[in-house]
Structure 1
């Protein structure tokens, strides 16, 4: 499939079109652009092939160009920009698989699809995802496999913190283990993974714990056993989870899930929060992270882990603590988020999950 190509957008108010000027020497597929019946099929595919953007061949600036009707303002990049639930992810992936199956039914080659989330659109008419098809005789564009595309897409997606961790891990692992993706098999596996633990008939003894944070790094296989913790166990912060031989946890060593950390701006050091009450200050006898800066208090602050969430508490420090530029009230818990900026007096840190 095609990773990327240069398209020009022209806006005529009510109508918008993508144009691809056909380079000299590039042959278009004669069966598609010369046969009127086939051309009509593609031109009117909004009614007949729901998986494609309508397109045709036109003359532009004296040369041939492919013109695509931009029938929607919403693309896959926008759909995946927000936090997704399991159901939303499954629906979007199934729509992709069904669109590609439609192409095969009509004798079109899925390898000539532009597999780029900026150019996969949600059709307002059919409420299905539609692809941009490039009817070239020889595919000379940079290629990407469906497996590679899906792994990257899933790795870059934010998931609902209260949703099914095991589903995401099973999906990620399936893609890692199956480089040559067979679409019908993947579609069935997707439904199978989604059905586990779903609905009133689900086996509650196999309930999956809620994940407070999960963002897979494609390429590593994640232990499903590590995810199947007792109900109520927090995935972030869990340590010493035994895993199957050869299994790598996301972003960390072979026997633990990653804890969040403070990134020290001055030194670039990562300070991992390995305790539920993690103290910061100058006194090595009382704190877990020892600051060398004299404006930092002996026990300046602490970070608490409570039910999978993280809170910052200033311990009555003389020079104060700041979160994103705002001075915090002493002895008051303030919830931390990924990329929050923390200052102990003038000592700067960034709180990160990964």
Structure 2
């Protein structure tokens, strides 16, 4: 499939060209074209293999997560994912046709409301990994300096403990962690069908009361998506095996305006993070996220290990919990070690000041 998105006149449009071997479901396209489902971009079939989607202006989730977010917003994002899956099932649609890809899920930077793409095709047999998508967000997220990292690591541990995607369990967890998020989702369901207001311009005016941050709407015609051959019909079961293309700034992924008032660097200047020192070249790597992934595949990780084929694509995570730090091997081929002791796969092992961390034969020293 090919995706191309842009914002114009406060409205997001996404053009999706489906593969020649996929057939659009007339039943599903009829439901989506004639019924406004809040949280899903509204489709319009233009040709046999081309669908145009429209909705309130937004940036791709992968771009949005480059800026620090609050605890509330983190759980609001998770709650909206759960809510979107419920709406798909409640409207007798096929859950595996929901696109869960950080590049093709969109979020309004003022209201924090998310918009999803549903592809109404008959031939999509990819197994949707919703838990994997939630984990991907946790790996990508950056928090405000005054936020405790612990809640992200605990949420990742919780969803990993589930045998399958369990809506009621996740809803109960989010409600326990932040009742305001549950209340906001409930308020949205009062007007579950359609956008808050039909006119995109009025959409923002109606929702500005919920805004706590000053973020500007992107310039008209700004590109928001990639145009490539990547088959983005869901997150596959294993991020380790999936071959994703590297994103570059010039690929039109809705980069923020340089003059925007929100300055990430200004929030991070006085924040202290633990760090690694790579033995081979003395490089310093700041562990600046609650779940920080190391490996050799750029698309999967927060630190890309160069010039070492012994390291796996997604080799290991460093997890921050309060003032404690843990390493979790992600089923790597050549194992992870702390002070030459091999770590149990998918089990968290605490790491301390001065410990030597090895990814296969690549050595680092951990410092707080």
Query: Normalization by structure 2: what TM-score?
Result: 0.49
Alpha-carbon deviation of 1:51? 1.6
Of 141, 157, 170, which residue of structure 1 is paired with 2:141?
A: 157
Q: Name the structure 2 match of 1:29.
A: 25
Q: In the alignment, what sits opposite 1:168?
A: 152
* Matched residue, 1:103: 88
Change in 2 beyond 3 A, CA 1:65/1:271: closer
SS at 1:93's partner residue?
A: helix
Match of 2:97 among 112, 129, 137: 112
SS in 1 for 2:56: coil
User: 1:80-99 counterparts in 2 under 5 A?
Assistant: 80-99=65-84
CA deviation profile, 1:140-193 (whole Å, cap 9, x unmatched): 4x5440011111210222233432343222211112222511122212112224
In 2, Cα distance between equivalents of 1:214 and 1:12: 33
Name 2:335's counterpart in structure 1: none
CA deviation map 1:289-313 (0-9, x unaligned): xxxxxxxxxxxxxxxxxxx7xxxxx
Q: Output aligned runs, 1:242-321, within 5 Å.
A: 248-249=347-348, 254=349, 256-259=350-353, 270-273=364-367
Is 1:41 matched with 2:34? yes
Alignment counterpart, residue 115 of structure 2, candidates 101, 105, 130: 130
Partner of 1:54: 42
Measured in 2, the distance between the counterparts of 1:126 and 1:168 equals 22
Q: Could you tell me which residue of structure 2 aligns to residue 77 of structure 1?
A: 62
Which structure has the greater CA radius of gyration? 1
Q: C-alpha deviations, 1:273-331, integer Å up to 9, x for none?
A: 4xxxxxxxxxxxxxxxxxxxxxxxxxxxxxxxxxx7xxxxxxxxxxxxxxxxxxxxxxx
CA distance in structure 2 between the aligned counterparts of 1:178 and 1:80, rounded to whole angstroms: 25
Question: Structure 1 CA distance, aligned partners of 2:174 and 2:272?
Answer: 19
Greater RCO, 1 or 2 (C-alpha within 8 Å, sep 6+): 2
Q: CA deviation at 1:127?
A: 5.4
Alpha-carbon separation, structure 2, partners of 1:104 and 1:32:
12
Q: Residue 93 and residue 271 in structure 1: after superposition, are their counterparts in 2 closer, same or farther (change >3 A)?
A: closer
Q: CA deviation at 1:89?
A: 0.7
CA distance in 1 between partners of 2:92 and 2:38 (Å): 14
Residues 181 and 258 (structure 1), Cα distance of their counterparts in 2 relative to 1, 3 Å cut: farther
Q: 1:11 to 1:217 in 2, by over 3 A?
A: closer
Partner residue, 1:284: none
Residues matched between the structures, number: 223
CA distance, structure 2, for counterparts of residue 216 and residue 88 of structure 1: 17
Contact kept, 8 Å, 1:211 with 1:235, in 2: the verdict is no
Residue 14 (structure 2) aligns with? 18
Classify 1:222/1:194 alpha carbon distance in 2 versus 1 (closer, same or farther; 3 Å): farther
* 1:20-63 superposed Cα distances (whole Å, 9 cap, x missing partner): 23443422112123x5xx35424xx2xxx11210111112xxx4
RMSD: 4.1
> In structure 1, what is the Cα distance between the partners aligned to 2:317 and 2:19?
42
Equivalent residue of 1:118, what SS?
Answer: coil
Alignment match, 1:6: 2
User: Do the aligned partners of residues 8 and 26 (structure 1) sit closer, same or farther apart at CA in structure 2, a change above 3 Å counting?
Assistant: same
Equivalent position SS for 1:151: helix
Distance 1:126 1:58, change over 3 A: farther
Stretches of structure 1 lacking an aligned partner (at least 5 in a row): 196-209, 229-233, 238-244, 274-307, 309-354
